[in-house]
Amino acid sequence: MFLNWLYTVLTEIGIDFNAFTGNKDERIKAQKYCYILGKFYNLPIDGSFSLYINGPYNSKLADTLYGITRKKSTINTVEIDENLRGVINRITEVFPANDPNIVNILEIYTTYDFISNHYPNWTDEQRSNELQRLKGHLPEFNNIVNNLVSYQQRLAA
């Protein structure tokens, strides 16, 4: 049942499970969308996120996502309740899957959020410096960072 639910939600958001196995960007997007879903819908995933090369990563979630691709032919979509529909709409409005920079946007946003949640005593400058150290190499870094507050406000609305 959970695989059906997760498949339905991620497909609605824009994850292409046909491309998942051979496309690193789809795998990164799926992890980051699940991270964001966890904040708004208490996504029931085993394991926890840790900071990894491409931002927050959950190895048990990766196993679950690969499980979806292996069992895709037997997975059925499920009804999405009104509350979750609102969450999906908000996420896709703020982070549209077809945005050409979406992988970098999600990676920077979720990394900053992870740092903020795990180091609450850090100053804004310390968080910004750490984000620059970890993700400053990504294209459009400065533009994305300038929109972090906007992303956060729009998700929380």
User: How confident is the model over 74-84, as pLDDT tens digits?
Assistant: 999 999 999 99
Burial class (CB in 10 A: 0-12, 13-18, 19+), 141: middle
| Structure-token pair, residue 92 | 């896709």
> What's the whole-number mean pLDDT along residues 16-23?
93
Q: What is the pLDDT of residue 80?
A: 94
Query: At CA 59, angle to CA 75 and CA 152, rounded to 5?
Result: 90
The C-alpha torsion from 50 through 55 and 60 to 61, rounded to 10°, is 140
The dihedrals phi and psi of 40, each to the nearest 5 degrees, come to: -105, -20
pLDDT tens-digit series, residues 108-131:
999 999 999 999 999 999 999 999
- How far is 110 from 50, CA to CA, in rounded Å? 11
- State what percent of residues in the chain have pLDDT above 70: 100
Dist CA 42 CA 53 (whole Å):
24
For residue range 127-146, list pLDDT tens digits in order: 999 999 999 999 999 999 99
The confidence band for 40, taking pLDDT boundaries of 50, 70 and 90, is confident
Q: Give the Cα separation of 151 and 94 in Å (integer).
A: 6
Q: What is the pLDDT of residue 39?
A: 86
* Confidence band for 41, pLDDT divided at 50, 70 and 90: confident
The domains of the chain are located at 2-156
Name the pTM for this structure: 0.94
CA 32/CA 69 separation, integer angstroms: 17
- pLDDT value of residue 140: 94
